[in-house]
Amino acid sequence: MKIWLIGAYGIVSTTAMAGAKAIEKGIVEKTGLVTALEPFKQIDAMIPFNFEFGGHEIRSLPNAFVALQEHWEQNRHFEFQILNAVRTDLERVVAKKGTALNCGSGIRELGKIETLEDEGLSLREIVERIENDLKEFADKETVVVNVASTEPIPKFSEKYHGSLEGFEEMLDKDAKDFATASMLYAYSALKLKLPYANFTPSVGSSIPALKELAREKNVPHAGNDGKTGETLVKTTLAPMFAYRNLEVVGWMSYNILGDYDGKVLSAKDNRESKIVSKDKVLEKALGYSPFSITEIEFFPSLFDNKTAFDFIHFKGFLGKLMKFYFIWDAIDAIVASPLVLDIARLLLLARKKEIGGVVKELAFFFKSPMDCDIVNTHEQFLMLKKWFDQLAKA
């Protein structure tokens, strides 16, 4: 299968590419891949583990290997022999120039960038360029995954975002204030009947107009914001308090991170989207809203090592207040990149089974799953298994 990655030179994208090729070569095992678990073993017969990669990018670099090498020098997040083994494969991946329209002030922290809007293109022209790039690469077994940097919360318009007709009008009128890069990528993918996943907190395909497009084209899509670290623990742990009838009165989450993701999120407008995505899961998991603090801070020397400090204040029998602490410390790309491969395979399976619209059963992979209020990790996993079993038998 083919995967087109938005943000192709980022650490998650390049690590996903390296991991996929290392597995194909028999260098490493499939540890970290959900689709490698026993309940999903039938997927290998339906979607063989073999990948070709392409993508869009705004950083000007020669190819994906150069990008991966830069990330590896900073993080050393896998063995050097793997880097050498996948070099030729990643040198073949040369990303197309992408858009960063309304992606926030934090994007400029990435260094030298080149975007389609810098060429003075209209919205229609940007979309046409994206579509042409996708057409050149894609076949019937292609999935588009957005792993670009987090956008600010967009300027919403019922007129432009509430219906497909309105979205088309936005493009025709070149109403750039109301468009974001993730919307344009999602629109282009869905219009070409390519399954689309939004692994970021950005709006992507979640607006009504693009949900309408997905239904009209009968193409599957899913998102938003990959659930990989502190929020994964939060949505696994919070139900425990609910099951035991222990009242959570306060939950503090303090996250520090470096690398390009940290640079972007150090900007207030970009950070806001991420905090909203991380914070709202508590109410859904517990059924009420405890006092909460969620902070995200840039810590340059950590690079891609994301560290989260969580403090939970909870009330037990006889009204006694007690405390629970945990620390999550992981390389973000290592926990995130296998999920990119999982999601892409499952969306391609959905397409093969002629499923269109939001695939809410993929909620297991996301902090803010579309059209699904279930955030409990255990319940999400059971829902995913049931859905896969039904498709495997169909």
Average pLDDT for residues 259-280, to the nearest whole number?
66
d(CA 223, CA 144): 12
Average pLDDT for residues 223-227, to the nearest whole number?
96
Domain ranges for the chain, please list them: 2-226+334-393, 230-331
Residue 130 pLDDT more than 90? yes
- How is the beta sheet containing 321-331 ordered, strand by strand? 291-298, 247-257, 305-315, 321-331
The two tokens of residue 213 are 């497009």
Average pLDDT for residues 378-392, to the nearest whole number?
97
Q: Which amino acid is at 361?
A: E
12-26, 61-75, 95-109: the lowest-pLDDT one: 95-109
pLDDT for 174 equals 98
What does 211-262 look like in DSSP terms, one character per residue?
HHHHHHHT-EEEESSB--SHHHHHHHHHHHHHHTTPEEEEEEEEEEE-HHHH
CATH fourth-level superfamily of 230-331? Dihydrodipicolinate Reductase; domain 2 (3.30.360.10)
What is the average pLDDT value for the chain, to the nearest integer?
Answer: 94
Containing 159, the helix (H) or strand (E) segment is helix 158-161
- How far is CA 354 from its chain centroid? 23
By C-alpha distance, which of 361, 325, 390 is closest to 34? Answer: 361
User: Is the CB of residue 339 less than 8 Å from the CB of residue 34?
Assistant: yes
Average pLDDT for residues 114-125, to the nearest whole number?
95
By C-alpha distance, which of 252, 297, 306 is closest to 279? Answer: 252
Q: Look up the pTM and report it.
A: 0.94
pLDDT digits (tens, 9 = 90+) for 237-251: 999 999 999 999 999
Handedness of CA 163, 169, 174, 175 (dihedral sign): negative
pLDDT band at residue 269 under the 50/70/90 scheme: low
- Residue percentage of the chain with pLDDT more than 90: 87
pLDDT digits (tens, 9 = 90+) for 270-320: 666 566 656 678 999 999 999 999 998 999 999 889 999 999 999 999 999
pLDDT digits (tens, 9 = 90+) for 100-114: 999 887 776 666 789
pLDDT digits (tens, 9 = 90+) for 343-371: 999 999 999 999 999 999 999 999 999 99
pLDDT for 112 equals 77
Neighbours of 232 (CB within 10 A): 18
Average pLDDT for residues 223-228, to the nearest whole number?
95
Query: Can you list the positions of beta strands (E) in 85-202?
Result: 96-97, 142-146, 196-198
98-102, 104-108, 143-147, 252-256: the lowest-pLDDT one: 104-108
Average pLDDT for residues 27-45, to the nearest whole number?
97
pLDDT digits (tens, 9 = 90+) for 75-108: 999 999 999 999 999 999 999 999 999 988 777 6
The two tokens of residue 281 are 């899961």
pLDDT for 199 equals 98
Distances (CA, A) of 20 to 6, 70, 109: 17, 19, 29
pLDDT for 271 equals 62
CATH 3.40.50.720 fits 2-226+334-393, yes or no: yes
pLDDT digits (tens, 9 = 90+) for 185-195: 999 999 999 99
Containing 330, the helix (H) or strand (E) segment is strand 321-331
pLDDT for 267 equals 66
pLDDT for 330 equals 94
